[in-house]
Amino acid sequence: MNISNNIKTTLKEQWLGFCKKNAASIKELNELENSSVVIKLQDDSLRLNSLFILGTIAGLNPESFELITLLLKLNSPDLVVKALELDFDPLATSNIPAFLRRRESGSSSESEL
């Protein structure tokens, strides 16, 4: 696995962990009509807007802040989210890795992300 795949995997796991812990709040945001916080995807699923995602990732992983800042100087927030492979509905079960699903069922303890 190369370095960019490692970074993308780490950021995706942290983002999904955050979304799992905050699923109730994210669901409330998704229900807001005409909200600039929520983006409708081509498959009619929803995700939070790109700047929210990138800001959250930078907060969860301060080491990524410089990388995200550099990428934002070169591309739009939407393209950065796509490049980091975070352009999906984080609450869809198919997007949640097995290790996070196990935590939800109680077979493993919660850890802070």
The two tokens of residue 78 are 């939407």
pLDDT at 108 (0 to 100):
42
Q: Write down the mean pLDDT value for the chain.
A: 81
**Could you tell me if residue 40 is inside a domain?**
yes
Task: Work out the average pLDDT over 102-106.
Answer: 49
No. of H helices and E strands in the chain? 6, 2
Task: Work out the average pLDDT over 15-40.
Answer: 83
Q: Mention every residue, 6+ apart, whose C-beta is less than 8 A from residue 20.
A: 96, 100, 103, 104
pTM of the complete model: 0.76
Domain extent for 63: 3-103
**Could you tell me if residue 110 is inside a domain?**
no
**Could you tell me if residue 108 is inside a domain?**
no
Number of domains in the chain: 1
**Could you tell me if residue 112 is inside a domain?**
no
